[in-house]
């Protein structure tokens, strides 16, 4: 996938607010985890925008996001929990878009999508 055009405002937010003072992949992951947990307003409605082999969601599937997945599930990428058939299921946040969510939630999701689409990794 080609990198998205660099967004200086988003780069600044990621560098100065999300992964600031993060030394190593674990601290970067936790920076992202707490940023997302503190910024997104749960619960919110979302829709699946891409298929992943690790997730049962199909493109266009509407879901209710209820919380961040546990920290230990988010050491390599960010997962959120959704209501799924009467239980909680962790799915990759990169699969979801939340056009009806509040602005802060939409921005947090867009920040994560940007990070992933730029090819950044916890390193």
Class of domain 8-117: mainly beta
Backbone angles phi, psi at 90, to 5 degrees: -85, 130
Domain residue ranges in the chain: 8-117
Model confidence, pTM: 0.93
pLDDT digits (tens, 9 = 90+) for 19-52: 998 889 999 999 999 999 999 999 999 999 999 9
Residue 60 pLDDT > 60 = yes
């Amino acid at each position: 996938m080609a990198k998205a055009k660099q967004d200086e405002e988003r780069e600044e937010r990621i560098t100065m607010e999300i992964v600031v003072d993060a030394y190593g992949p674990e601290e970067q992951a936790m920076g992202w985890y707490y940023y997302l947990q503190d910024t997104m307003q749960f619960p919110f409605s979302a829709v699946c925008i891409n298929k992943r082999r690790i997730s049962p969601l199909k493109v266009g599937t509407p879901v209710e996001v209820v919380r961040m997945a546990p920290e230990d599930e988010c050491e390599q990428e960010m997962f959120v929990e959704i209501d799924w058939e009467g239980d909680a299921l962790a799915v990759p946040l990169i699969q979801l878009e939340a056009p009806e969510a509040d602005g802060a939630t939409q921005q947090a999701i867009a920040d994560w999508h940007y990070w992933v689409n730029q090819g950044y990794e916890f390193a």
